[in-house]
Amino acid sequence: MTSLYQERREDEAMGAQSGERLVEVDGLKTYYGEEGGLLGGKPVKAVDGVTFDVHRGETLGLVGESGCGKSTLGRTLMQLETATAGSVEYDGTDITTLSGKKLKEWRQNVQMVFQDPDSSLNTRMTVGELVMEPLNVHSWKTPQKRRERVRELLDVVGLSEEHYYRYPFQFSGGQKQRIGIARALALEPDFLVLDEPVSALDVSVQAKILNLLDDLQDEFGLTYLLIAHDLSVVEHICDRVAVMYLGNIMEIGPVDAIFDEPANPYTNSLLSAIPEPKPNAEKSRITLRGTPPSPRDPPSGCVFSTRCPYKIRPDAYENLDDDVWEGIEVFREVLRERGDVTKSVRDRLRGLLGMETTGMDVEEVVADTFDQLDVPSDVQQYIDEAVEHVERDDLVSAQEVLHEEFGSVCENEEPEQLAVGDTGRVSRCHRHREEYMGTQTYQDVHDFS
Amino acid sequence: MSMTENKNDSIVERVKENPGPAARWGAVMAFLLLLEFGAIWGGIMSIPWDVPVKGLADVLPAAIGGVVTGIGSVFADVGNAFAEVPTLLERQWIPNRGYHVPGEGWQGTFLGLEPAYAWLIRLTLVYVYAAVTAYWAWRGYMTFRRHYRYADWTPADDMIDRFRSHNWGRFGLIIVAAFLVMALFAPAVSPTTESQNMTNPYDTENSMVKYYNENAGEVQEVTAGSANLASKSRGDRQNFGLWTYDKYDRFHPFGTLTTGKDLFTFMAFGGRISLFIGLFASALAGGIALSLALLTSYYKGLVDLATVLTSDAFSAMPRLLVLIMLVTVLQEHWISDIYSGAFLLAFLFGIWGWMGLWRAIRGPSFQIVENEWVTAAKGFGDRPWSIVKKHVAPYVIGYLLIYLSMSLGGYIIGAAGLSYLGLGVTAPTPELGRAIAGGQDLITTKSWHISVLPGVMITLLVLGFNALGDGIRDAIDPQSSSGDSSGEAAAAGGGA
C-alpha cells in the first residue's frame, strides 16, 4: 500500500514545511463569451483577476457563494477552461501556454475529484476500468502492472478487491466518491483540485471522506485545493482559506486567523452565516441586502460595494442616521437590479426600439424604503431627483445622480490587496487603509447587526 | 468461481488456466464451421475483390501494379479452390432435380423422392444447421460468462434478459434471422441453380435439364433457357403457381416468373441483394451519423452549426430524385458494375441517409457529453476522439440502432422501388422490385404470386427489422417499457 508514492514522500514533507510555492496564480481571468457581438452582449467574468499561491503540501480552501467563480477557478487551474488573461505557474512552468503533448504530460501532475460521483463515473464501466483509465491514457507500464496498481489504489481508498468488477451504481455515494479519489490518485499527482468533494454526500459519510483525504495527504504529501461552500468543512480540513466573491478573491490567509477574526467585510458576513450549535447562543448575523450582481456587469470599484454593510461613506454623510443611509443603499440596489444589463434579447430589442419599460412603481419603492424615516432635506432632494429620472424611464441617470452624491472610494477605486496582521493574510478592502475606519471600529461606532 | 485468487489475467491467460470448457465449445464450433468451410470461402470470394485490386494496380506504376494483380490472382485462385470444397448442405448431396419416368418413379432425386420433398428436406436441414450454429454461438457466450468472465454481472446481462422476455422483439429477431439464413444459403435453399435461373440459362455445360420425353419415350436434355420458355406464368392462359411442376419436371415452390424462371430462387438471391443494400446503407449512414453526432456534441459551436447547415443542405435535396439522377448519370461508370449496381445504390442511400439519424442522436449526445466523466477524461489528458468513443458513444449507439432498424426497411423498399422503375440493380441480378413490376399486370389473374410473394417478403423483412429495433430499444432503455405508446418519443428525446 505504501509503495504507491514512496520515492517522493520525504522531500515533499520537507517542502510543506518550507512553504515552497507549488502553484502561483497571477492576475488570472477567465471570461465566457466575448465583448460586443450581435446584440451587444458582455462576457461573463467568472474569474476576474485573482492572484494567489498554493504552497506545497498544504490544503487551500476556496469558499464563496454559488456562482462566485470557485469552480471555474479550479477548472482553469486544471486547464479545463482557457484563461483569458494572467498566468498560472505550476512548479515554475506557465501552464496556460502549454498545449498538445506537453499539456498531456503535465496533466499527470494535477487531478480533480468531482462533486457528483454519479456524474463523474461512467456508469457503463467497471470500477477497475474506471480507475485504470488514466493509466491507459498515459500508457503507464504494462497492462499487468496497471491491474496491480488499480488493486492497490482500491485498497488505499478503503475499497476491497472484489469491487474491481462491479459497476458504479452498485455502490453507495461515499463509496463512489472513493472510486473517484482512487482514479484521481492513479497517476501519482502532486496537486488535487477537490471540487466540493463531499457536498453530495450524507453528513455521516462526509467526515469519513474528509478523513480519508486527510490521511492520503499525510501519506503521499499531496497538495489540495478544496472548493467548498460548506464553511465547517473548510475549517475542519484546510490550512489556508481564500474567500471569493464575484470572481475576485476578497481575503486569503490562514484558516484560524480568518475564522477567528475575519478582516474583510464579505468574509465577515459570510462567516456570520455559520449556524451555531447552541440554540440560545448570542450571535449577530449580517444579512446582505439584494442579490449578487451579475458577473456580466460587475460593479465599479470594489465588487462587494453594492452590498457591503461596511461601505465607506462620503465625509458629508459620515454622521447621517444609519437607517437613512441603509435606506439609500437599498434604494440604489433596487435601481441597480432593475437596470441590470443582463436582459433577454427581447428586452434588449425593446430598448433599442425605445419601447423600454421598467415596470416599476418607483413611488411605492421610495415609500417602502423611507416612509418610517426622518430623511434630511439635503438627502431628500437627491432622492426626488432620482425618482424623477426613474419616472421618465431613465434608470441610468437616476443611478448616476445617486452615485455622484453618495458614492465613495469603494465605488470609484478597485481595492488593492493589503496585508492584514502578520500571518501572511491579505484582504481586498479600502477599510484596511490607514485613512479609513477599520471594520471593527465602524461596527462599534454604528452598532448594527 | 474458482479464480478469485488472481484476477489480473487477460482472457487468454484465463482460458489457458481452465481450458476445458473453452476447448469443448471451440471443438464443436470448429466442426460446425468446417461443415460449411467451402461455402464460407465462397462468400469471401464473392466480394468483388478485383475492383479494389484493379484500382490499386492502375494507380501504381506499371511494374508494381503488375505484381499486385499477380499476387491478387494467386489469392483468387487459392480462394476459389477453397470455395470448391464440398459442404454438408450442398445441393449435390440432396438433389431435388430429377425426372419422372412412368412406371419407374423419380430418377436422379434424393432417395428417389418426389422433388418437392427432396427440396423440403434440404431446406429443413439448412435451417436446422443455422439454428444449431446460432445456439452454439449463444452457448459460447454463456460459457464465457460462466467460466471466464470475472464480473458476476454486467449491464449487458440485464439487456439480454429484457430482450428475452420481449415477444415482439423476439418475433422480429426470428423473422430477420430466417431471411438472413435464406440469403446466406441462397444457393442451397433454391430449387434450381443460379446459373440455370439467372446467369447462364443457355450454357450447355452447367444449365442442362434432363427430362423424360413421353413422345419419344426416352430421357432427353434441353438447356434451362429453352425449358424456361415453356414454363412462363402468363396469367390465366398459362400459369405455374405455388407448389407446381412444369413440363420438364422441375419443381417450383413459389411458382414461376413471367420469364419462366423459378420465383423462389429469384427471391432467395434477391433477398441477398436487398439485405446487402439495407445493411450496407445502414452501416454507412449510421457511421456518418454517429461520427458527426460525437464530433458536434464535443466541439459544439461552429462545428455543430456547420453540420446543421450541411445536413439541411442534404435534406433539402429530394432524395429519390437525386438518387434517380445519380444512378442514371453513373450508369456507364465502373462503380455501377460492382454487384450489378447494388453497391452504388447502397452507397447513395447511405450518403443520403445520415441526416435524420444524426438529428435523432445529436440531442442525446449533447446530453451525455455534459456529464462530468467527460470532464474527468479531459482532466487526465485523453484525446477528444477517444473520449467520445469511450464515454459518449456507448450511450448513443442504442438510440442509433433503433433508428437504423427503422430506416433499414426504408432502404430496402427504396431499392425495390427504384428497381420497380427500372433503375438501380440491373438484370440478370435479381431484385425483388423487378419481380413486383413484372407481375403487376397479372395480379388479378392466376399468376398473382409473381407480385404478391416478393411484396409480402419485403413487408415481412421490414416488419421484422422494425420489431427487432423495438425489442432492442426496450432492452437497452428500461424506462421506455413496451406497451407504452410514448416509448418512441422517449427514445427520440430522452437521454440515458
What pLDDT shows up at residue B94?
Answer: 87
- Give the DSSP letter of residue A319: T
What pLDDT shows up at residue A36?
Answer: 61
Q: Which of A104, A123, A144 is opposite residue B8, by nearest beta carbon?
A: A144
When computed from its CA atoms, the radius of gyration of chain B, rounded to whole angstroms, is 26
| Cβ neighbours around B288 below 10 Å, total | 17
> Among residues 64-93 of chain A, which lie with CB inside 8 Å of chain B?
75, 78, 80
What pLDDT shows up at residue A406?
Answer: 84
What pLDDT shows up at residue A276?
Answer: 75
What pLDDT shows up at residue A4?
Answer: 61
Name every chain B residue with its beta carbon within 8 A of the beta carbon of A114. Answer: 372, 375-376
Nearest Cα residue in chain B from A75: B379
Instruction: Tell me the pLDDT tens digit for each residue of A44-60.
Output: 889 988 999 999 999 99
Minimal Cα–Cα distance from A81 to chain B, Å? 10
What pLDDT shows up at residue A5?
Answer: 63
| Backbone φ/ψ region at B469: left (φ over 0), alpha (ψ -120 to 50), beta | alpha
| Cβ neighbours around A407 below 10 Å, total | 20
Q: Is it the case that residue B429 has pLDDT exceeding 70?
A: yes
- Decide if A120 and B375 are in contact by the 8 Å CB cutoff: yes
| Distance from chain centroid for Cα A71 | 7
Q: Which of A122, A161, A165 is opposite residue B391, by nearest beta carbon?
A: A122
Q: Which three cell numbers stand for residue A236?
A: 475542519
The predicted model gives B292-299 an average pLDDT of 94
Please provide the average confidence, as pLDDT, over all residues in chain B.
86
Whether B154 has its CB under 8 Å from any CB of chain A: the answer is yes
Task: Quote ipTM for the complex.
Answer: 0.82
Name every chain B residue with its beta carbon within 8 A of the beta carbon of A113. Answer: none
What pLDDT shows up at residue B490?
Answer: 39
- State the Cα–Cα distance between residues B473 and B494, nearest whole angstrom: 12
Indicate the helix (H) or strand (E) that contains B55.
helix B50-59
- Decide if A165 and B7 are in contact by the 8 Å CB cutoff: yes
Q: Which three cell numbers stand for residue A423?
A: 500571518
Q: Which of A15-29, A172-186, A289-303 has the lowest mean pLDDT?
A: A15-29
Q: What is the maximum alpha-carbon separation in chain A?
A: 83
Task: Report pTM.
Answer: 0.83
Whether A199 has its CB under 8 Å from any CB of chain B: the answer is no
Whether A181 has its CB under 8 Å from any CB of chain B: the answer is no
The predicted model gives B377-392 an average pLDDT of 91
Strands annotated E in B172-265? 208-213, 218-223, 244-245, 251-252
Name every chain A residue with its beta carbon within 8 A of the beta carbon of B371. Answer: 119-120, 122
The predicted model gives A143-149 an average pLDDT of 88
Minimal Cα–Cα distance from A140 to chain B, Å? 12
| Cβ neighbours around A413 below 10 Å, total | 12
Whether A423 has its CB under 8 Å from any CB of chain B: the answer is no
Taking CB atoms and an 8 Å cut-off, how many pairs form between chains A and B?
A: 80
Q: Which range has highest mean pLDDT (A4-18, A270-284, B346-360)?
A: B346-360
Name every chain A residue with its beta carbon within 8 A of the beta carbon of B380. Answer: 107-108, 111, 133-134, 137-138, 186-187
Residue with cell 398459362: B238
Specify burial of residue A280 (Cβ count, 10 A radius: 0-12, 13-18, 19+). Answer: exposed
- State the Cα–Cα distance between residues A292 and A306, nearest whole angstrom: 8
- Decide if B381 and A161 are in contact by the 8 Å CB cutoff: no
Q: Which of A107, A124, A162 is opposite residue B380, by nearest beta carbon?
A: A107
Instruction: Tell me the pLDDT tens digit for each residue of A383-433.
Output: 888 888 877 777 788 888 888 888 888 888 888 888 887 888 888 888 888
- State the Cα–Cα distance between residues A240 and A258, nearest whole angstrom: 9
| Cβ neighbours around B221 below 10 Å, total | 11
**Portion of chain B with pLDDT greater than 70, in percent:** 94
Whether A116 has its CB under 8 Å from any CB of chain B: the answer is yes
Q: Which of B154, B372, B379 is opposite residue A107, by nearest beta carbon?
A: B379
Q: Which three cell numbers stand for residue B428?
A: 440478370
What pLDDT shows up at residue B6?
Answer: 53
